[in-house]
Amino acid sequence: CDWEFRRVLFRSTTGAGDVFCGAFSVYLSENHTLTESVEFANAAAALAVTRMGAQSAIPYKREIAL
C-alpha cells in the first residue's frame, strides 16, 4: 500500500505514536476501513506534533481534518 503523509512543522514528537495508535484504534472500532483509519490516525498524529507536551498535544476528534 502507498500511504500518503502530511508535512507539518513540528514542535515536539512526544506522544505522536500514542496519538496515532489511539486514533487508529478508535476510528477502526467505529467500523471505518483500514485505509480510512490510517488516514485519520496520520492526521491526528500530524496535528499532535505541532503542539508541545504529551497530554496537552492530543487533539480532540473534532479538530482532526481529513
d(CA 9, CA 32): 28
2 counts as catalytic: no
Q: Which of 18, 22, 28, 58 is catalytic?
A: 18
pLDDT at 65: 85
Rounded to whole angstroms, the Cα distance separating 1 from 29 reads 21
Residue type at 54 in one-letter notation? A
Smallest CA-to-CA distance from 20 within 49, 56, 53, 52 is with: 49
pLDDT value, residue 56: 93
pLDDT at 1: 67
The DSSP letter of residue 58 is P
- C-alpha cell, 4: 500518503
**pLDDT average per 10 residues of sequence, the chain (66 residues):** 80 94 98 95 96 94 90
To the question of pTM greater than 0.85 for the whole model, the response is: yes
